[in-house]
Amino acid sequence: MGVGFLVGNKNGLSDIYRGRDRFKGYFEPTQVDGYPAVFSDSGDYRSQGTCGIAVGISDTMTIRVSEQGRLGVKSCDRAKQVASMVIQTIKAGG
């Protein structure tokens, strides 16, 4: 499991959408706790337990959660769950 801020994305999730062509594996918009998000990766390894999600937490900040485990297709569920926990932690700290 990896969690991080995408500090190079000065325009938040909009930068992910602008670069969507590089995500050849999958690019699937979703939401996490009401925040816009997208499952995406350059290759589709979800059946092998790898899934990534980016969540726009503001117009200028995006978090990325990557799950690499033995969960198979449920890896995206786990990545989304962890993204929700990160959002709740950020809200609690503010």
Question: Per the confidence metrics, is the pTM higher than 0.75?
Answer: yes
Q: Token match 């699937």: residue?
A: 28
Nearest CA to 68 out of 53, 57, 56 is that of: 53
Q: How many domains does the chain have?
A: 1
Domain span holding position 57: 2-93
CA distance 78 to 69: 10
Tens digits of residue pLDDT in 21-44: 999 999 999 999 999 999 999 999
- Tens of pLDDT along 51-64? 999 999 999 999 99
